[in-house]
């Protein structure tokens, strides 16, 4: 059971500017069920008014918080926004703070859907108000299991063990953060575990990585996981899709749809993974070299970002993300300008005049056959190719002539390499 003496609850304090009064009804209900008044706390628009986006259904909420330590007054720690001594969203060591401090955490939220947020920012009462309640399953599980972190429950530990097997050169997972994880090794474990869950569920539901919309989000998630595996854990190419089996074994009973076609999920992830891995190491090395030349808080030139994309196939969004982790920015306007210039040159380069087209005219064929006595190419091998036995096979060839498309000139004695 969850000890009641470690629980704190919150209710909406009201907002005159928005025309929303304090939610005294929620406060009074908590008092009636026996929560001590000093553990019933007010919250502002940020903490106790839930909205799904810029527009749409919304309303005040009442949260339940739990103090893992106990035996103290932790009211001042409820919704204080601190994460391991830092404010949430603060950039520490080049990346945004986002790892939950396990001391005082929200485990349940009751949202009273009373309004609709309009495009102009105003609130309109809903014709049929409702209650939307949500419990943090993993947080509650960590409490019941006596763990200090969500990442110590078996849903994650089994995945961490499998990641360690697939990346044997990496240090075994420990539940450490920030300064206790100076090389971000343990953070990499968490990123990979979280991301394989997201991708497996999303692909099972019919989504796929792509260049647009939700597919683009999935592609970025996949690339981030693969990069963390390669860069932080020295994981071999192709490790990521192999985690699907462990995830299905762990969560398949609770979510039977995961067992429908895991082979398809693995195939989709593997294809994306292998394609991205081809450019990853080269791109990371080149980007790191260029970032080292920049001052702290500097900006990577857009031309450099385009060079990475053009020469190494390194996607812009990954360049931007890795620069952000280093506390750097990217000149996106210059990148887009370089991209447009390249498109223009490509289009212009496709407009060949007739004299520039590679074409074997009748007189050129006659020159090859009669004047230069070059026999026709023996291409019978292409009809005899055996793909099953072709591994390592090679055919001897000899270049007898070249054609200069500018001069349309054949020269048997031209130096060739």
> Got the DSSP string for 331-361?
-HHHHHHHHHHHHHHHHHHT---GGGS----
How far apart are the C-alpha atoms of 188 and 196, rounded to whole Å? 12
Query: Which residues on neighbouring strands pair with residue 43, listed in sequence order?
Result: 12
State residue 12 phi and psi, 5-degree precision. -75, 130
Which pLDDT belongs to residue 96?
Answer: 40
Residues with Cβ within 8 Å of residue 64, at least 6 apart in sequence: 7, 8, 9, 106, 107, 108, 109
278-315: buried (b, 16+ CB within 10 Å) or exposed (e) per residue? ebbeebbebbeebbeebeeeeebbbebbbbbbeebebb
Residues with Cβ within 8 Å of residue 185, at least 6 apart in sequence: 170, 171, 232, 233
How far apart are the C-alpha atoms of 396 and 398, rounded to whole Å? 7
7: nearest Cα among 66, 85, 68, 59? 66
How far apart are the C-alpha atoms of 97 and 82, rounded to whole Å? 10
290: nearest Cα among 265, 259, 322, 264? 322
For 82, the 3-state DSSP assignment is: strand
Class of domain 4-144: alpha beta
Which pLDDT belongs to residue 379?
Answer: 60
Domain edges within the chain: 4-144, 153-293, 301-351, 353-379+396-417
Q: Give the containing element (helix H, strand E) for 139.
A: helix 137-144
199: nearest Cα among 191, 208, 190? 208
H helices present in 292-315, as ranges = 302-312
Place of tokens 């260049």: 211
Which pLDDT belongs to residue 83?
Answer: 44
Q: By the 8 A CB rule, do 188 and 160 touch?
A: no
- Determine the distance from the C-alpha atom of residue 196 to the mean position of all C-alpha atoms in its chain, rounded to a whole number: 10
Which pLDDT belongs to residue 46?
Answer: 93
Q: What is the DSSP letter of 149?
A: S
Residues in the chain, pLDDT under 70: 81-102, 346-367, 378-394, 403-417
Concatenated DSSP letters for 203-272? HHTT----SSHHHHHHHHHHHHHHHHHHHHH-PPTT-GGGHHHHHHHHHTTT-GGGGS-HHHHHHHHHHH
Which pLDDT belongs to residue 267?
Answer: 96
Place of tokens 């050169």: 169
Going from the C-alpha of 27 to that of each of 13, 32, 36, 295, the distances in angstroms are 10, 9, 11, 52
Which pLDDT belongs to residue 314?
Answer: 83
How far apart are the C-alpha atoms of 235 and 230, rounded to whole Å? 5
Enumerate long-range contacts of 401-410, CB under 8 Å, 24 or more apart. Answer: 401/368, 401/372, 401/374, 403/358, 403/360, 403/364, 405/356, 405/357, 405/358, 406/355, 406/356, 408/355, 408/361, 408/364, 410/364, 410/367, 410/368, 410/372
């Amino acid at each position: 059971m969850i000890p009641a003496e470690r629980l704190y609850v919150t209710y909406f304090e009201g907002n005159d500017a928005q025309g929303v009064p304090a939610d005294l009804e929620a406060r009074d209900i908590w008092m009636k069920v026996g929560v001590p008044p000093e553990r019933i706390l007010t919250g502002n628009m940020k903490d106790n008014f839930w909205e799904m986006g810029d527009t749409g259904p919304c309303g005040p909420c009442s949260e339940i918080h739990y103090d893992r330590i106990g035996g103290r007054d932790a009211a001042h720690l409820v919704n204080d926004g601190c994460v391991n001594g830092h404010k949430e969203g603060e950039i520490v060591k080049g990346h945004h703070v986002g790892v939950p401090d396990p001391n005082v955490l929200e485990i349940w939220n009751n949202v009273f859907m009373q309004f609709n947020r309009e495009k102009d920012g105003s609130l309109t009462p809903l014709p049929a108000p409702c209650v939307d309640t949500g419990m943090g399953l993993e947080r509650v599980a960590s409490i019941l299991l006596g763990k200090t972190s969500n990442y110590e429950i078996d849903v994650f530990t089994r995945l961490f063990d499998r990641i360690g097997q697939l990346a044997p050169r990496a240090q075994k997972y420990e539940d450490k953060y920030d300064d206790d994880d100076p090389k971000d090794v343990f953070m990499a474990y968490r990123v990979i575990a979280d991301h394989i869950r997201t991708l497996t569920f999303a692909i099972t539901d019919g989504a796929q990585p792509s260049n647009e919309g939700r597919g683009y989000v999935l592609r970025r998630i996949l690339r981030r996981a693969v990069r963390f595996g390669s860069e932080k854990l020295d994981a071999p190419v192709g490790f990521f899709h192999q985690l699907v089996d462990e995830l299905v074994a762990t969560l398949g009973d609770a979510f039977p749809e995961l067992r429908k076609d895991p082979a398809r999920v693995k195939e989709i992830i593997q294809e994306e993974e292998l394609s991205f891995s081809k450019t990853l190491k080269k791109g990371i090395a080149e980007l790191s070299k260029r970032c080292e030349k920049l001052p702290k808080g500097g900006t990577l030139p857009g031309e450099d970002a385009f060079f990475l994309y053009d020469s190494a196939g390194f996607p812009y969004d990954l360049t931007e993300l890795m620069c952000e982790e280093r506390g750097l920015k990217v000149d996106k306007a210059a990148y887009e300008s370089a991209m447009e210039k390249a498109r223009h040159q490509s289009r212009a380069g496709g407009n060949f005049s007739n004299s520039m087209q590679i074409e074997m005219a009748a007189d050129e064929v006659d020159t090859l056959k009669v004047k230069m006595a070059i026999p026709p190419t023996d291409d019978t091998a292409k009809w005899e190719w055996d793909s099953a036995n072709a591994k390592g096979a090679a055919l001897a060839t000899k270049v007898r002539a070249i054609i200069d498309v500018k001069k349309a000139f054949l020269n048997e004695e031209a130096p060739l390499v």
